[in-house]
Structure 1
Amino acid sequence: MAAHAQGSLFDQTDEIRLGPLTDVTRTVLGDGAWIDLLPGWLGGADALYEELASGVPWRAERRQMYERVVAVPRLLAFYGERGDGSRDELPHPVLTEARDALSTYYAGELGEPFTTAGLCYYRDGHDGVAWHGDRTGRGSREDTMVAILSVGAPRDLVLRPRHRHGTVVRRPLGHGDLIVMGGSCQRTWEHAIPKTTRAVGARISVQFRPRGVS
């Protein structure tokens, strides 16, 4: 099932490890929304990609789209909380470390920990996700955060204002890059991974969210 990911010339280690969060750079988007970016937060990202691509129990989904059922153009996995309050074990220890590090770093702004992890596997340029905001849960009415760690080949994450014309923000993410969407971002902005006809390698994104945000 594992698709090929183009390796990074800058990530030449197989040691899977996180760097510090001290070099996070914030960009204010407007309307109370912002993004934080830290390229290459995870070292050994290509090695982690290989482990996740072959070891995660990926599932394909189909969804109702108007009058027909269509295949979701990516593979999915989800790690959440159980009824007893415990959490599903993440597929690699470094992801648990990443979730805990993000919870600590953003504790003052977020006020709660990241608890869930959703994984998306974009196998090639035919896979993507349309414009959306994470507004199914509390993100529809509250400021919150969604942190995304990307491994594998870079794909563009694009953002645009939801209710007005404005500049589209584009960030290529892969090879251990971190982006955090915060403030009102899920309500006032939309984001997408556009499909592409260009030859691109596979990418896996790991989305950390607080409880009740989806």
Structure 2
Amino acid sequence: MDLTLQGSLLDLTDEMTLRDLRVGTTRHPLALGAWVDVRPGWLAAGDELFAALLRDVPWHAERRQMYDSVVDVPRLTKFYGGDEPLPHPMLAQARDALSRHYAGELGEPFVTAGLCLYRDGRDSVAWHGDRIGRSRDSDTMIAILSLGSPRTLALRPRDGRPVEGAGGRSLRYPLGHGDLVVMGGSCQRTWDHCVPKTAEPLGPRISVQFRVAGVR
């Protein structure tokens, strides 16, 4: 399987850097007290980071009980707790930049990083909310840095209500190489999100999810 990445033609710099979150970040208010921030191209020239994570992270294939069978989880994962060093210095810079930017709203720093490797369009994550821990009852934020091939993040209300302006279907946010999305407010409690499968011939994508302590 070829997991190489074709570099972005949109980056105008060869230096890997995080762009200013105060510029280019758009907040999308959702129903039920939830919101989503999107910052396209937050990480510039991220090809080196993608290659390093692909090479150096000890990716783990999980299996999960589903009804009467145990099935393969359709992606590879690795979780880094708050007391573990991250696999690349840029991830620590990204975590700290997010903590500074959202300090006034969040009130605490991002401390953990969960990584997922979607090897191609067949890898996915089903509808869910990150409701393990404090996020089950309290508002929080989860910041996701997307690296590699573009994939869609879809959101829909947990209670099944129609989505205004989406024809009753889910909201869809296309995420490209270096893009950032932050789900905040009540989003984990009142909305579900997923990365759907696709038949398009896509290459690999790495998702880096930054969370606060006590939230999974």
Class of the TM-score when normalised by the shorter of the 2 chains: over 0.9
Map 1:67-78 onto structure 2 (within 5 A): 67-78=68-79
Q: Is the 8 A contact 1:11 1:45 kept in 2?
A: no
Q: Given the superposition, is the C-alpha separation of residues 135 and 13 from structure 1 closer, same or farther in structure 2, using an over 3 Å criterion?
A: same
Alpha carbons of 1:121 and 1:160: their partners in 2 closer, same or farther (altered >3 Å)?
A: same
Q: Which residue of 2 aligns with 1:117?
A: 113
* 1:174-194 deviations in Å (ceiling 9; x for gaps): 210000000000011110000
CA distance in 2, matches of 1:3, 1:9: 18
The amino acid across from 1:25 in the alignment is: T
Which residues of 2 match residues 63-142 of structure 1 at below 5 A?
Answer: 63-81=64-82, 87-142=83-138
Aligned residues: 209
Q: Alpha-carbon deviation of 1:40? A: 0.4
Matched, 1:10 2:7: no
Aligned to 1:165: 162
Specify the alignment match of 1:186 in structure 2.
188
Using a 3 Å threshold, how does the CA distance of structure 1 residues 88 and 2 change in structure 2: closer, same or farther?
Answer: farther
| Residue ranges of structure 1 left out of the alignment (5+ in a row) | 82-86
The Cα shift of 1:14 comes to: 4.2
Unaligned runs of 5+ in 2: none
Per the TM alignment, residue 111 of structure 1 is displaced from its structure 2 partner at its CA by 0.7
- TM-score with structure 1 length normalisation? 0.94
Equivalent position of 1:47 in the other structure: 48
One-letter code aligned to 1:148: I
TM-score using structure 2 length: 0.93
Q: What secondary structure sits across from 2:30 in the alignment? A: strand
Q: CA RMSD in A?
A: 1.3
Residues 60-93 of structure 1, C-alpha deviations (whole Å, 9 max, x = no match):
1101111110001000011103xxxxx2111111
